[in-house]
Amino acid sequence: MTAVFYYIIYNPAAGGGSSIPIYKQVKAVLDQRHLAYAIKTSRYPGHTNVITKQIGDFNQREHPVLLVIGGDGTLNQAINGLAGTRQSEIPVAYVPAGSGNDFARGIGMSEDPMHALEQVLQATEAVTIDIGRFHERTRGESGYFVNNIGIGFDAAVVNAANRSDSKQLLNRLHLGKLTYLFHVVGMLMTRRPFPVAVYEKGVRHFFHRAYICTTTNIPYFGGGIRLYKPANPTDGKLDLVIVEWFNIVSWALAMIQLMRGKKPTSRATHIFHADKLTVETSSLEFGQMDGEEMGTRPFEIDFSMAKQKFWIDRSI
Ligand SMILES: Nc1ncnc2c1ncn2[C@@H]1O[C@H](COP(=O)(O)OP(=O)(O)OP(=O)(O)O)[C@@H](O)[C@H]1O
């Protein structure tokens, strides 16, 4: 078996601090098994990105693996930090320790951190998994996402959840998954539908009353809420899910159909399955990427696919 060197990248703020005991357990297991590692703690928001850039540019170890302990946001930052470095091919391993952990769920790895660690430690080779790439035209910014980029309702929910005290409280009660669900009702009272233009293969599609406009790599968003069951992180394609708002009943029925994993038949639901897409909004809307706030603005985003090496054995 290859003797791997683990760079542990650990976010003590993930899961409202519930990552701390998980980190301690991971460390204990690595010590017990005499595995080689170095610990890099994220000291402030965005630090993970800086740490992984340094590792990607300056690593001198043989067989390095980045072992991320945190939530989807930490994983997102690790992957974006590593991209474009001299050793961007370093595989990424992951122990879910956030509030939502949609990526773990979405790629079929264990959501139990210690079982997930076993899936990492038993891996013998890197596996390639799709990730999404975005280019935001208005800002000239590009990057990667592991789960989804949402404009509109889900992003407004993320924004409200991240700013409220309930996220901390629910995390303390080990109910972190409910964080986003908790804010759905509040947002339903305040959000308005907005126009979206989608470009696919040179054809423009226009939706007057979009409410959800989420480009996804995996079936889940918002901490385990099923958005689109067929979304598959190994098929080389992204799925754009648009749900329009005609009235609350049609919207709720469309959402229930999606969440139950049924084939969407509602006239409110529109799915694009493509390796390249452009999404344009003209009104001020919230954006979210992997559960992190993107701010509020009109968005013009080109989406495409990329591949990322992961160090995970999902068969155990
Ligand atoms: N030392 C730190 N103090 C405060 N925030 C930090 C620190 N290190 C990283 N962060 C920030 O913590 C935020 C949350 O991380 P993450 O998304 O991994 O956890 P989560 O929100 O609990 O999980 P999930 O996204 O799976 O719901 C990220 O925006 C990250 O930048």
Segment 232-261, tens digit of pLDDT? 999 999 999 999 999 989 999 999 999 998
Cβ–ligand 1 contact at 18 (below 6 Å) = no
Q: Residue 285: which of 299, 272, 303 has the closest Cα? A: 299
What distance in angstroms lies between residue 19's CA and the mean position of ligand 1's atoms? 10
Query: Alpha helices, DSSP H only, in 61-175?
Result: 72-82, 102-107, 113-121, 153-163, 166-172
Ligand 1 near 100 CB (within 6 A): yes
17 C-alpha to center of ligand 1: Å?
9
In angstroms, what is the span from residue 288 Cα to ligand 1's centroid?
Answer: 14
- Residues 187-197: what's their mean pLDDT? 86
Ligand 1 contact, 17 CB (< 6 A): no
Cβ(291) – ligand 1 distance below 6 Å: yes
Q: Evaluate: CB of 74 within 6 angstroms of ligand 1.
A: yes
Residue 38 has pLDDT above 80, yes or no: yes
- Please name which of 110, 138, 165, 83 lies closest in space to residue 285, comparing C-alpha atoms: 138
Residue 6 is which amino acid? Y
Is the confidence metric ipTM above 0.90 for this complex?
Answer: yes
Ligand 1 contact, 224 CB (< 6 A): no
Do 214 and 154 meet the contact criterion of CB atoms below 8 Å apart?
Answer: yes
Instruction: For residue range 94-130, list pLDDT tens digits in order.
Output: 999 998 899 999 999 999 999 999 999 999 999 999 9
- 206-226 average pLDDT score: 94
pLDDT at 164 over 80: no
Atom of ligand 1 nearest to the CA of 16: 22
Which band of pLDDT confidence, cut at 50, 70 and 90, is reported for residue 185? confident
Domain with CATH 3.40.50.10330 in the chain: 5-131
Residue 271: closest CA among 304, 240, 303: 240
Q: Is the CB of 43 under 6 A from ligand 1?
A: yes
**Burial degree of 121 (CB within 10 A; 0-12, 13-18, 19+):** buried
Fold of 134-306: Tumour Suppressor Smad4 (2.60.200)
Q: List the Cα angle 97/101/103 in 5-degree steps.
A: 125
Residue 160 banded pLDDT, cuts 50, 70, 90:
confident
Q: What is the pLDDT of residue 178?
A: 67
Of 2.170.120.12, 2.40.110.10, 3.40.50.10330, 1.10.8.100, the CATH number of 5-131 is 3.40.50.10330
Question: Ligand 1 centroid vs 40 CA: distance in angstroms?
Answer: 15
pLDDT, one tens digit per residue, over 270-294 is 999 999 999 999 999 999 999 999 9
**Please, which pLDDT band fits residue 189 given cuts at 50, 70 and 90?**
confident
Q: Supply the pLDDT for residue 159.
A: 87
Q: Where in the chain is the domain with CATH 2.60.200.40?
A: 134-306
Amino acid identity of residue 303, one-letter, is F
Q: What is the pLDDT of residue 140?
A: 92
Average pLDDT, the chain: 92
The yes-or-no verdict on residue 206 having pLDDT over 90 is: yes
Q: Indicate the top mutation candidate among 18, 41, 42, 163 to test ligand 1's pocket, ranked by most ligand atoms within 8 A of CB.
A: 42
Atom of ligand 1 nearest to the CA of 103: 26
Residue percentage of the chain with pLDDT more than 70:
94
Tell whether ligand 1 has an atom less than 6 A from the beta carbon of residue 76: no
Could you give the CA distance from residue 145 to residue 151 in angstroms, rounded to a whole number?
14
Span 59-101, pLDDT tens digits = 999 999 999 999 999 999 999 999 989 999 999 999 999 988 9
